[in-house]
Amino acid sequence: MRIGLALGAGGAKGMAHLAFLQAMEDLGVRPTIISGCSIGALIGAYYAAGLSPKDINSILLDIDLKDMTKFLDFSFFDSSGIIKGKGVENFIRNTLPVHEFKELNIPLKIVATDYWKREDVIFESGDLIKPIRASISIPVLFEAVSHNDTILIDGATTNPVPYDILKDKCDLIIAIDVTGKYTPSPTRGISSRIEMIINTLQIMQSAIVKCKGVDTAVAIFAQPELENINVLDFHKHEEIMLSVMPHVVKFKKDLKSKLNL
């Protein structure tokens, strides 16, 4: 059976993808093809390149304060983003075993957004690094990416959980939406402009997922709550992994049922 896996956007909340990937491995289930958006594109690339969920987890956690300063190469001349993104691109290049789509063990589709055409752009061949960099380019936070006469930004602005691009490639689709949710707090204000921008994008992302609905082609659509986790909360790794475990248990049960395991 051809199994498609769609890994959604969500920044730090995307760490939850690793728990679902590990659950699949525990059952001996391997995707035939993967699609990914933003953090889902990055994790999808690592996994498609042959890294285990534990390997990927180590890579994403092995960033100390010194590395973070290299990461955050601030831009003072480009108005499209606060961070140039070259540090992020170098990090991806140095930690990803392969740099071309054709070198991957599992076929991968990466979603970015054409800024001017306002539509998603799908990458599945050629250079692997630039599409990942484009797919994670949160507007205003990261500089947009120029590629073949187009300006590319975060794929989450058009297709945050890209399961639809797998429909003609597999028999069963698994989609993981890590948008999460927030509990209203009357006493908490908005801490910064960056938080305002990022949370506004998260609202838009949630609206896109709801409007898009769940296609009948999707056999399993997992939506862990990931309550009150922000896009940049990578330091909350343990909280993220603990909160997702009840959803992973249900996911394994559903997957076993769908595949008659």
d(Cα 238, Cα 232) in Å, to the nearest integer?
Answer: 14
Residue range 83-94: average pLDDT? 85
DSSP 228-255: T--TT-GGGHHHHHHHHHHHHHHHHHHH
Taking residues 197-203, report their average pLDDT: 82
pLDDT tens, position by position, 42-76: 999 999 999 999 999 998 887 644 455 556 656 55
pTM above 0.75, yes or no: yes
Per-residue model confidence as pLDDT tens digits over 99-112: 999 999 999 999 99
DSSP at 100: B
**Residue scoring higher pLDDT (237 or 85):** 237
Q: Are 44 and 118 in contact (CB under 8 A)?
A: no
pLDDT band at 248 (very low <50, low <70, confident <90, very high): very high
pLDDT score recorded for residue 189: 63
Q: What percent of the chain has pLDDT over 90?
A: 60
Confidence of residue 131 (pLDDT cuts 50, 70, 90): very high
- Mean pLDDT to the nearest integer, 146-165: 94
| pLDDT for 185 | 67
CATH numbers and ranges of domains, the chain: 3-259 (3.40.1090.10)
- Which helix (H) or strand (E) segment holds residue 47: the answer is helix 39-48
Mean pLDDT of 165-190: 83
Rounded CA-CA distance 140/198 in Å is 9
Residue listed under structure tokens 């998260």: 202
The pLDDT of residue 205 is above 50: yes
Strand-pairing partners, residue 146, are 151
